[in-house]
Structure 1
Amino acid sequence: MGKVLTHMTMSLDGYIAQPDGQPAELFDWYSAGDVSVPNPNEEVTFAVDDASAEVLRGLTEEVGALIAGRRLFDIADGWGDRHPAGAPVVVVTHRPPSDAAARWPTTTFVDGVEAAVARAREIAGTKDVTIASANVAQQALDLGLVEEVCVSLVPVLFGEGIPHFTRLAQGHLLLEDPTVVPGRRALHLRYPVQRG
């Protein structure tokens, strides 16, 4: 069985979007090099440096299901039912869109984070489950469901916006020392969550 991890691109001061939800410069690293990383969504292209290409390949080739919150899903218009990670998407929502089956036939809509992680694990089989929404990641961390926290840290200060991390219900959460991969326009960090 694969692990449950989170991955977000984050500004140096901890934001994953501007106050209006837009990413601004956060995804500049997706076009900061000349190594193409293919993905199933022809509307999204990755041209990154060698180090970032290795990180992206690991995050896409090893993922068997991706969990997103409804807000991110709506902003991305469901990625046209072809997320760049190349994996089925599980969306956490109380109310699925009325046209969900017709517009997003490979997307699963689930009420609640715990149920979403369980369903994503079923879909992923032996591969990893990646949580790609800050609020969902926060809830999963509070529930003790996350095994690794991954951040692509971008050299920009927003000063305000939507934070990646907020108050944890259980207080401090200790992480192991990170694996660090320096890339062009992003520093990629992977922190295993300490257990026990």
Structure 2
Amino acid sequence: MSKVFSHMTMSLDGYIADPENQVGELFDWYTAGNVSVPSHYENVTFDVDEASAQALRELTESAGALVTGRRLFDIADGWDDSHPSGARVVVVTHKPPANAEERWPKTIFVEAVDVAIAEAKKIAGKKDVTIASANVTQQALDLGLVDEVCVSLVPVLFGEGIPYFAKPKQGHLLLEDPVVIQGHRALHLRYPVRR
């Protein structure tokens, strides 16, 4: 059965980027090993350790659609209309880029998180939906649309920046015990959302 999960690489103190949207050392784990994990791009591979390769394959090979926000979409320049996981992209935004239909014809732009998740589920079919956005993750958690929260926790302290999680609208949210994979330069954690 397909799932909706979020995944972000996060600093030990809870940030997914610094105040200027820079990731600094957060993605060092993608080049910290000798096991090559291919991406959807022919010329891009991730060179990680064996444990991280297992975690990365689980995340990317199961992804049928990716939901993101406009900020990450703009930073990544829309991944040239083809995300490295190979999954179709759904962007939550109140204002799509002016040339969106021409420049990113495979990308879908919607205004609401619940609509984005529903659209992504249709696209994904039996595969999973991945949320790659802190803001969209928080909204989806508040709406009860997330099955699992995934974090690749890295050994760096930013001190400030863009947090992965904000204050939940319904107060605290309980998660189940994590599945833990110890990688080199990252600890991969998967927390099912308690229902």
Task: Say yes or no: TM over 0.5.
Answer: yes
**In the alignment, does 2:182 pair up with 1:182?**
yes
Separation in 1, partners of 2:192, 2:41:
29
| Counterpart mapping for 1:140-159 below 5 A | 140-159=140-159
User: What's the TM-score, normalizing by structure 1?
Assistant: 0.97
Counterpart in the other structure of 1:68 = 68
Deviation at 1:16, TM superposition (A): 0.3
| Counterpart mapping for 1:1-196 below 5 A | 1-42=1-42, 44-195=44-195
Over the residues paired in the alignment, what is the CA RMSD in angstroms?
A: 0.9
Deviation at 1:99, TM superposition (A): 1.2
Give the percent of matched residue pairs that are identical in Structure 1 and Structure 2. 72
Deviation at 1:144, TM superposition (A): 0.5
Contact 2:64–2:129, Cα closer than 8 Å, also in 1: yes
Separation in 2, partners of 1:103, 1:55:
32
Deviation at 1:43, TM superposition (A): 6.0
Deviation at 1:41, TM superposition (A): 2.4
**Uncovered stretches (5+) of structure 2, i.e. residues with no partner:** none
Separation in 1, partners of 2:186, 2:20:
22
Deviation at 1:54, TM superposition (A): 0.8
Separation in 1, partners of 2:46, 2:103:
25
Secondary structure, in 3 states, of the residue corresponding to 1:37?
strand
Separation in 2, partners of 1:76, 1:43:
17
Separation in 2, partners of 1:115, 1:100:
18
Q: Partner amino acid for 1:140?
A: A
Secondary structure, in 3 states, of the residue corresponding to 2:189?
strand
Deviation at 1:14, TM superposition (A): 0.2
Deviation at 1:44, TM superposition (A): 4.0
Q: 1:2-36: per-residue Cα shift (whole Å, max 9, x none)?
A: 11000000000000000000100000000000111
Further displaced range: 102-111 or 183-192: 102-111
**Uncovered stretches (5+) of structure 1, i.e. residues with no partner:** none
Q: Partner amino acid for 1:170?
A: Q
Secondary structure, in 3 states, of the residue corresponding to 2:10?
strand
Aligned length: 195
Contact 2:149–2:190, Cα closer than 8 Å, also in 1: yes
User: What's the TM-score, normalizing by structure 2?
Assistant: 0.98
Deviation at 1:45, TM superposition (A): 3.0
Secondary structure, in 3 states, of the residue corresponding to 1:149?
strand
Q: Partner amino acid for 2:152?
A: S
Further displaced range: 76-85 or 11-20: 76-85
Q: Partner amino acid for 1:67?
A: V
Separation in 1, partners of 2:10, 2:93:
24
Deviation at 1:42, TM superposition (A): 4.3
